[in-house]
Structure 1
């Protein structure tokens, strides 16, 4: 069931949001809904303190065994060869 939500925002922010929505081929309502869905599935609070690029990389090696020796080998190959 969809319900109506009223937001009070700065006029300039509304204009920018409408412009961005038009560029993306969507509505401001859909952008807000997407944002709410995103924050609902947000990663644990530890990632909130990290820069966005770092937070986006956390967990990508979950199922891979990476040892210190692997890293040292990588550095040797990158910088000593």
Structure 2
């Protein structure tokens, strides 16, 4: 008896994700050659393009979301207890004199 193997079938499935993008526009910037050279080096080291680097930076600057951290009720209740005045050498001397007298 010869053992007959069924033919091997390989199915390939391709999935594409389409992301809606804004239309790109050109922008001309006048920058120092040294800054440009350093930025190009940074972009190369981080495996990105200079355009993408600048786009991400400008996007982060103009992001409209609030980055305010959530504060716990305990921390909020403590807010304002410590006076918001600079500590001077006189304050420190006065404190130490009280503490050690």
* Both proteins in one fold, TM over 0.5: yes
Report the equivalent of 2:27: 5
Structure having greater relative contact order (Cα 8 Å, sep ≥ 6): 1
Higher helix share: 1
C-alpha distance in structure 2 between counterparts of 1:30 and 1:13, whole Å:
16
Give the TM-score of the pair, scaled to structure 1: 0.56
Q: Could you say which structure has the larger radius of gyration?
A: 2
In the TM superposition, residue 43 of structure 1 has moved relative to its aligned partner by: 7.1
Runs of 4+ displaced beyond 2 Å: 58-62
In the TM superposition, residue 34 of structure 1 has moved relative to its aligned partner by: 0.6
1:1-81 correspondence runs (5 A) = 1-41=23-63, 59-62=68-71, 64-66=72-74, 67-68=77-78
5+ residue gaps, structure 2, are 1-22, 79-101
